[in-house]
Homo-oligomer: A and B are copies of this chain.
Amino acid sequence: MATSRLEHITIIGVGLLGGSVALAVKALDAEVRIAGVGRRRVSLDKALDVGAIDTAHLDAAEVGHRSDLVILATPVGAFAKHLRTIAPLLKPKAIVTDVGSTKSMVVRQAAGILGRSGRFVGSHPMAGSERKGVAFARADLFGGATCILTPTSSTPPSVTRRLKRFWSQLGMTVRQMTPGAHDKAMARISHFPHVLAGLLMLLPDKADLEVAATGFRDTTRLASGDPEMWRDILLTNRKAILAGIDAFDEQLMHLRDLLIRADAPGVEKFLTAAKRRRDATVAKLLPDLSTSE
């Protein structure tokens, strides 16, 4: 693969995402050397066992100097610590990226720590699972999914190009957005839906949950995500999420008014608009798995 120029890859955080990147790279080119960095020996051993990584390290300092590409795959809150560790060790041409779900804060933070050399470019491979850990990692996790890159004005085009090729080779469709545009979009299509799913999950009485059907199951699915990872996502993108909450709440109050007034045409108009929009966009691009309620 064209990771021929990426002979050494370091993956910090060898869980579901980091492990899947490693397995996908190995599947394409078994010659690439992958160093895994983690905070728990047992996870690293599992990553060695499944053949995701070649060497295991509890400290990124051991491998920062030889990496052509460093991929941060821990919860976002731990990025700064690792960036500070590797910053003085990195080769001049090394590229640093991540697989996190928020970008503005991370890109700003990385520029502050690594300098404005542009060696950090944010990546958001939009694949994952409610499952956690390298045991669930799969070489094909990214196939067919979208990866959003968030280069800035200080990113050399060649760096963006190399990273774009890297994700494309793992089977992803790569798109570019600014970190701010990425975060605004994600707040509304991912992060706020996660908040909604959690709140909705806590709303019914326990007895009511016994008669919940597939509609409730699917609407709340995101609430089974990893709390630590999502805590970091919500906090690092809280400005955009708060804007989403306020926009949502305004519409919720409007709908509340329609119900109080028993405004049948108004309610139907709302339902029709939502159905039309969904059927023309999301449901078309990603067919529903289940259509039963």
Contacts and interface: CB of A to CB of B under 8 A. Distances in A.
Contact of A126 (B131, B188, B213, B245): B213
Contact of A282 (B175, B184, B209): B209
B215 A188 contact: no
Nearest to A281: B209
B211 A148 contact: yes
A197 B249 contact: no
A193 B213 contact: no
The size class of the interface chain A forms with chain B is 35 or more
Tell me the dominant secondary structure on chain A's binding face: helix
Contact of A217 (B241, B246, B274, B288): B288
A198 interface: yes
A168 B76 CA distance: 51
Contact of A146 (B211, B244, B290): B211
Interface string A252-276: 1101100110101001101111110
A220 B272 CA distance: 14
A232 B224 CA distance: 32
A217 to B, nearest CB: 5
B223 A194 contact: no
B274 A198 contact: yes
B202 A190 contact: no
A215 B203 contact: no
A175 to B, nearest CB: 7
Contacts of A259: 234-235, 238, 241-242, 245
B218 A190 contact: no
Interface in A165-215: 175, 184-185, 188-190, 192-215
Interface string A118-160: 0000000011111100000000010001101000000000000
B212 A274 contact: no
A51 interface: no
A271 B248 CA distance: 20
A126 B208 CA distance: 13
A274 B202 contact: yes
14 contacts: A129-B291, A129-B293, A148-B211, A189-B216, A190-B215, A195-B252, A196-B196, A201-B282, A203-B251, A212-B281, A212-B285, A223-B271, A224-B278, A238-B259
Which 3 residue pairs of A and B lie closest in terms of their CB atoms, listed nearest first?
A: A198-B274, A227-B271, A185-B208
Interface of A: 126-131, 141, 145-146, 148, 175, 184-185, 188-190, 192-228, 230-231, 234-235, 238, 241-242, 244-249, 251-253, 255-256, 259-260, 262, 264, 267-268, 270-275, 277-279, 281-283, 285-286, 288-293
